[in-house]
Amino acid sequence: MTTSTGATGRYSLFDALPDAVLVVTAQPKLVYANKAAATLFPALDNYAPGAMVSRYIRHPAILDLAETVFTDDWDAGADPERFTLPGKVDRRLSVQAAPIEGADADNAGPATALIMLHDETAMWRAEQMRADFIANASHELRTPIASIIGYIETLQGPAKEDRAAHEQFLGIMQDQAQRMSRLIDDLLSLSRIEIDEHMPPSARVRIATIMSKAVDVISPLTEREGVSVDTLIDPALRDAEIVGSEDELVQMLQNLLDNAVKYGSEAGRIEIGAAPDDKKPGNILLSIRDFGQGIPPEHVPRLTERFYRVSAKTSRARGGTGLGLAIVKHIVNRHQGVLRIESTPGEGSCFMASLPLAAKPTAPLVAIDFVPQIVDNPPK
Ligand SMILES: Nc1ncnc2c1ncn2[C@@H]1O[C@H](COP(=O)(O)OP(=O)(O)O)[C@@H](O)[C@H]1O
Ligand SMILES: [Mg+2]
């Protein structure tokens, strides 16, 4: 980085700013670039004051602005211009300019201008994700609606008098309507959990209780599919508790059990377990293990993305919405935990939620004297 002497010295305060700032003259020559500018444009790391700006920065949005800010065309009230800076990770930047006085310490010297760059990548990505999400959700809803409309038209027209077709088509329409209903339920769960995500829960729940509740909820499916569920709780954790929302934690286990049955029940059995987390002392590891086909490793990091499925066809055929693991991930986050996924193709998968154990309840402050009573005729 250039030493701050002479003309550049008066701008060194800008080094404390998170946004990139350049001071340029009308040619445009570079008078000064702050530290944040050098992180965006590494060529600026060792710039020579007085060199042409284009030697370090090629982006037309910046170069054009560095010229127009000195002309009558420049509009001080115009919205900042936005552009994408290509790189390993594309960055979205906005750029603005403002004329300032001369470059020298006594404000003499050539006219100069500030070029200010603001990194909007995070906001831009969030906006893109939101737009993608709406497009995906609409697509997922549109498919069953289109199919229902198609069957209604057939029933009103060509198949009007065909009793057998009525039976068959109404069955399909019912399946499609149920699919939309599941999708809406999952979308609502997801948005509810997301709204609460920054507020940690405060109730205490027993781990053994949420595990048995989740197994009960899933039992119609496991019975229908002929899958047995083995519950394995480390005896030391039989009465252990976590700070959490019972409904959400049951939903988390239920979604994982549901997947294990739907995509990994070839062996006819699955496991739900609770054990201390060796990797994180003080945490408990809730795990759902199956012995099915497993998941190819390239898919594993993306499974918790909304609507991401290894096979959309299998997921749909099994009544999936593609939102189950996204819901699981948000529930785990809200409970200050982490989700780990291990899968070996051909051997099976294990989904683990590592969650902080609740502190043991404190002992009552007042000791109560216990006077044993002799009962003459103890009840049988
Ligand atoms: N236990 C599992 N074994 C194999 N694949 C799984 C398992 N759990 C999840 N998957 C894959 O992850 C995808 C996303 O799961 P999920 O978010 O619950 O959506 P859905 O079950 O509705 O498709 C599933 O479609 C499936 O491809
Ligand atoms: Mg699922």
Indicate whether 380 belongs to any domain. Answer: no
Indicate whether 367 belongs to any domain. Answer: no
Cα 167 to Cα 151, 157, 161, 163, distances in angstroms: 12, 15, 12, 7
Over residues 88-138, the pLDDT tens digits come to 888 999 999 999 876 555 656 678 999 999 999 999 988 988 999 999 999
Give me the mean pLDDT over the 153-181 stretch.
94
C-alpha 216 – ligand 2 centre gap (Å): 17
- Is the pLDDT confidence value at 5 over 60? no
Residue of 136, 193, 263, 323 to mutate, ligand 1, most atoms within 8 A of C-beta: 263
Specify whether 209 is located in the same domain as 333.
yes
Indicate whether 336 belongs to any domain. Answer: yes
CATH number at residue 174: 1.10.287.130
Give me the mean pLDDT over the 3-25 stretch.
81
Indicate whether 374 belongs to any domain. Answer: no
Cα 105 to Cα 1, 7, 114, distances in angstroms: 21, 6, 16
Give me the mean pLDDT over the 220-237 stretch.
96
Task: Please state, in angstroms and rounded to a whole number, the distance separating the CA atoms of residues 270 and 293.
Answer: 13
- Is the pLDDT confidence value at 290 over 70? yes
Give the domain extent around 332: 199-360
Task: Please state, in angstroms and rounded to a whole number, the distance separating the CA atoms of residues 252 and 320.
Answer: 15
Specify whether 163 is located in the same domain as 242.
no
Specify whether 204 is located in the same domain as 190.
no
3 state SS of 287: strand
pLDDT score, position 73: 85
The domain boundary, picked from 170, 196, 222, lies at 196
- Is the pLDDT confidence value at 380 over 60? no
Cα 132 to Cα 126, 312, 324, distances in angstroms: 10, 17, 18
Specify whether 34 is located in the same domain as 79.
yes
**Nearest CA owner, ligand 1 atom 6:** 263
Specify whether 144 is located in the same domain as 214.
no
Task: Please state, in angstroms and rounded to a whole number, the distance separating the CA atoms of residues 58 and 71.
Answer: 20
% of the chain beyond a pLDDT of 90: 79
Indicate whether 371 belongs to any domain. Answer: no
Amino acid identity for residue 160 in this structure: K
Pocket of ligand 1 (CB under 6 A): 255, 259-260, 263-264, 290, 292, 295, 303, 309-311, 315, 320-326, 349
Give me the mean pLDDT over the 51-62 stretch.
94
In the chain, how many domains are there? Answer: 3
pTM for this predicted structure? 0.75
Residue of 293, 303, 313, 343 to mutate, ligand 1, most atoms within 8 A of C-beta: 303
Indicate whether 379 belongs to any domain. Answer: no
Specify whether 213 is located in the same domain as 286.
yes
Indicate whether 273 belongs to any domain. Answer: yes
Specify whether 109 is located in the same domain as 170.
no
The domain boundary, picked from 119, 144, 159, lies at 119
Strand ranges in 137-213 using DSSP code E only, listed in sequence order: 204-206
Identify the nearest ligand to the CA of 294 by its number.
1
CATH number at residue 334: 3.30.565.10
Specify whether 189 is located in the same domain as 238.
no
The domain boundary, picked from 119, 145, 168, lies at 119
pLDDT score, position 100: 86
pLDDT score, position 111: 86
- Is the pLDDT confidence value at 158 over 80? yes
- Give 156's pLDDT tier (boundaries 50, 70, 90): very high
Over residues 341-364, the pLDDT tens digits come to 999 999 999 999 999 999 876 665
**Nearest CA owner, ligand 1 atom 27:** 310
Q: Determine the atom of ligand 1 nearest the C-alpha atom of 186.
A: 22
pLDDT score, position 198: 83
Specify whether 164 is located in the same domain as 204.
no
pLDDT score, position 371: 58
Specify whether 347 is located in the same domain as 285.
yes
Alpha carbon dihedral 76, 77, 79, 81, in 10-degree steps, equals -10
- Is the pLDDT confidence value at 237 over 70? yes
Q: Determine the atom of ligand 1 nearest the C-alpha atom of 320.
A: 22
300 vs 376: which has the higher pLDDT: 300
- Is the pLDDT confidence value at 4 over 50? no
Indicate whether 375 belongs to any domain. Answer: no
Specify whether 233 is located in the same domain as 315.
yes
90-127 core/surface letters (b: 16 or more CB in 10 A; e: else): ebbbbbbbeeeeebeeeeeeeebbbbbbbbeeeebeee
Specify whether 225 is located in the same domain as 80.
no
Task: Please state, in angstroms and rounded to a whole number, the distance separating the CA atoms of residues 310 and 303.
Answer: 8
pLDDT score, position 45: 93
Q: Which helix (H) or strand (E) holds 357?
A: none
Give me the mean pLDDT over the 316-328 stretch.
94
CATH number at residue 25: 3.30.450.20
